[in-house]
Amino acid sequence: MSVLDSEIVATLAAIVGAGNVLTGDDLQGYEQDWRRRAQGKALCVVRPGSTEEVARVVQACAAARVSLVPQGGNTGLVAGSVPDASGTQVVLSLRRMAAVRAIDPQNMTITVEAGFILQRLQETADQAGFLFPLSLGAEGSCTIGGNLATNAGGTQVVRYGNARDLCLGLEVVTAQGEVWDGLSGLRKDNTGYDLRDLYVGSEGTLGVITAATLRLYPKPAAMLTAWAAVPSLEDACSLLGMAHKHLGASLTGFEVMNQFALGLVDKHYPHLRVPMWQETAWCVLIELSDAESEAHARGLFEGMLEQAFEQGLVADAIIAENLRQAHDLWHIRESITLAQVEEGFNVKHDVSIPISLIPEFVREADAALAAAFEGIRFVNFGHLGDGNLHYNIQAPAGIDAKAFVAQHEERISAIVYDTVSKYRGSISAEHGIGELKLHKLPQHKSPTALALMRTIKGALDPHNLLNPGRVLSA
């Protein structure tokens, strides 16, 4: 460590306490991303315990021109939360900032610090008699700060929207180390540019989120989950339309999974007993939240599924008998990502397409990829209700998956993203850009949009000290 490096580490230790500045072997969990696609090297990890400490850390780093990588649960899927390989960046972990600052039952809001774990937030809301609806597979370890910084989606977006829609206010430490207190909890505020929406989804490149005021919802009287085998993706889309019509605002989630994705879960986690996966090419998972009663919800679901059977949209279906069964069905859906890891390295594409065009998109992309790479396998699943597919590619069976991905990822993704652009879709629906998609953005975002983004970055972080090289190239 150079003298300058030692000086900055000592300065940070003076701010947060020596025990909250990690170096050496303690850094491992902070330097590698969840997918093991990026292995960085940090100067140190600093773990502030308050907004004031975050501000002082940012000021100290800005004065020394040392760049910072904000990190929450480190569950991001685009390698945006780990340091680069230079050994000069400071990881700013928000995990110690995990207090509930306020619950306002009448305003139906909760204010928590950025390091609050999402699952704890759901539980805290539940104990207060409310629902906090953001829900995703990593909820046991991701943080609300990370959720907002990535504008996370998950499985209840159909009804409640993305993380952005759940956020009524933010507290942010700017790149200069000033604190912006925007924790208003207001539902209406048209006093100029919307700073909150600027920071949401900015992936740590514009400011450090230290706290947020979030919407709470009334708990539904009943939640019901159905699993159905559907012959085709067209049928799944028609069923989604039917679900909107029959269930209205009660429709909270609509997920789709192809046979290969479910086959991977069956192969690697046979104890989960995946229902119906060999019956049809696709299965869907539908969730309904009812304000009246379980009997009412069941009636709605049964009516809809009867009609779907008659029209041939559904080949087989079950409605979970109880919460345990519903949980088991969701667990199967959430296990696809892990089953893919068990199967070996893969290429992920988190894309969105207008729902009406999804079957055509998949047909075209499947055909182009199958022609270019014999034997590749399609793990296609995701949030059909939001037009968001996880169109992932697994290497052909029996070959070295890591080598296959290293050799062919660029071309595979080029085929997928070119098809996405043809259908006017997005190359990142919910995971963000991070580092992995950085080089793809200029080909799929208009030069005007990119220039505006650069102007914003330059204005808010002129020395490029906050998560440099993520979202926009340095």
Binding residues for ligand FAD (CB under 6 A)? 34, 69-77, 80-81, 94, 114, 136-138, 142-143, 145-147, 149-150, 152-154, 203-204, 208-209, 337, 430-431, 434, 467, 470
Nearest distance from C-beta of residue 53 to ligand FAD, angstroms: 13
Tell me which of ligand 2HG, ligand FAD, none is bound by residue 69, counting a contact when its beta carbon lies within the kind-specific cut-off of 5 to 8 angstroms: ligand FAD
Contacts of 412 (CB under 8 A, 6+ apart): 347, 369, 372, 373, 376, 393
Q: What's the rounded Cα separation, in Å, for the pair 126 and 9?
A: 41
Q: Which long-range contacts (CB under 8 A, 24 or more apart) does 376-381 make?
A: 376/412, 377/260, 378/258, 378/260, 379/258, 379/260, 379/261, 379/264, 379/336, 379/340, 379/346, 380/257, 380/258, 380/260, 380/261, 381/255, 381/256, 381/257, 381/258, 381/261, 381/333, 381/336
The residue of the chain with the least Cβ separation from ligand 2HG equals 337
For residues 153 and 169, which CB has a smaller minimum distance to ligand FAD in the complex?
153
Nearest distance from C-beta of residue 402 to ligand 2HG, angstroms: 17
For residues 305 and 466, which CB has a smaller minimum distance to ligand FAD in the complex?
466
For residues 38 and 142, which CB has a smaller minimum distance to ligand FAD in the complex?
142
Nearest distance from C-beta of residue 466 to ligand FAD, angstroms: 8
Neighbours of 203 (CB within 10 A): 24
Tell me which of ligand FAD, ligand 2HG, none is bound by residue 392, counting a contact when its beta carbon lies within the kind-specific cut-off of 5 to 8 angstroms: ligand 2HG
Nearest distance from C-beta of residue 294 to ligand FAD, angstroms: 26
CB 287 within 8 A of CB 300: no
Tell me which of ligand FAD, ligand 2HG, none is bound by residue 224, counting a contact when its beta carbon lies within the kind-specific cut-off of 5 to 8 angstroms: none
Q: What's the rounded Cα separation, in Å, for the pair 112 and 123?
A: 13
Tell me which of ligand FAD, ligand 2HG, none is bound by residue 209, counting a contact when its beta carbon lies within the kind-specific cut-off of 5 to 8 angstroms: ligand FAD
For residues 368 and 441, which CB has a smaller minimum distance to ligand FAD in the complex?
441
CB 318 within 8 A of CB 257: no
Nearest distance from C-beta of residue 442 to ligand FAD, angstroms: 19
For residues 137 and 177, which CB has a smaller minimum distance to ligand FAD in the complex?
137
Nearest distance from C-beta of residue 98 to ligand FAD, angstroms: 11
For residues 280 and 392, which CB has a smaller minimum distance to ligand 2HG in the complex?
392
Contacts of 258 (CB under 8 A, 6+ apart): 281, 282, 378, 379, 380, 381
For residues 77 and 208, which CB has a smaller minimum distance to ligand 2HG in the complex?
77
Tell me which of ligand FAD, ligand 2HG, none is bound by residue 348, counting a contact when its beta carbon lies within the kind-specific cut-off of 5 to 8 angstroms: ligand 2HG
Tell me which of ligand FAD, ligand 2HG, none is bound by residue 40, counting a contact when its beta carbon lies within the kind-specific cut-off of 5 to 8 angstroms: none
- CA 190 and chain centroid, separation: 28
Nearest distance from C-beta of residue 72 to ligand FAD, angstroms: 3
Q: Residue 94 burial (CB < 10 Å; 0-12/13-18/19+)?
A: buried
Instruction: Give me the helices (H) in 78-143, please.
Output: 118-127
CB 5 within 8 A of CB 44: no
For residues 109 and 337, which CB has a smaller minimum distance to ligand 2HG in the complex?
337
Q: Residue 191 burial (CB < 10 Å; 0-12/13-18/19+)?
A: exposed
CB 431 within 8 A of CB 76: yes
The residue of the chain with the least Cβ separation from ligand FAD equals 146
Q: What's the rounded Cα separation, in Å, for the pair 402 and 333?
A: 25
Tell me which of ligand 2HG, ligand FAD, none is bound by residue 220, counting a contact when its beta carbon lies within the kind-specific cut-off of 5 to 8 angstroms: none
Tell me which of ligand FAD, ligand 2HG, none is bound by residue 71, counting a contact when its beta carbon lies within the kind-specific cut-off of 5 to 8 angstroms: ligand FAD
Contacts of 310 (CB under 8 A, 6+ apart): none
Name 285's bridge partners: 227, 255
Tell me which of ligand FAD, ligand 2HG, none is bound by residue 168, counting a contact when its beta carbon lies within the kind-specific cut-off of 5 to 8 angstroms: none
Nearest distance from C-beta of residue 194 to ligand FAD, angstroms: 17
For residues 129 and 140, which CB has a smaller minimum distance to ligand FAD in the complex?
140
Nearest distance from C-beta of residue 367 to ligand FAD, angstroms: 27
For residues 156 and 238, which CB has a smaller minimum distance to ligand FAD in the complex?
156
Closest Cα to residue 229, out of 250, 251, 258? Answer: 258
For residues 182 and 432, which CB has a smaller minimum distance to ligand 2HG in the complex?
432
Binding residues (CB under 6 A) for ligand 2HG: these are 137, 337, 348, 382, 390, 392
Q: What's the rounded Cα separation, in Å, for the pair 309 and 239?
A: 10
Q: What's the rounded Cα separation, in Å, for the pair 154 and 161?
A: 9
Tell me which of ligand 2HG, ligand FAD, none is bound by residue 280, counting a contact when its beta carbon lies within the kind-specific cut-off of 5 to 8 angstroms: none
Nearest distance from C-beta of residue 285 to ligand 2HG, angstroms: 11
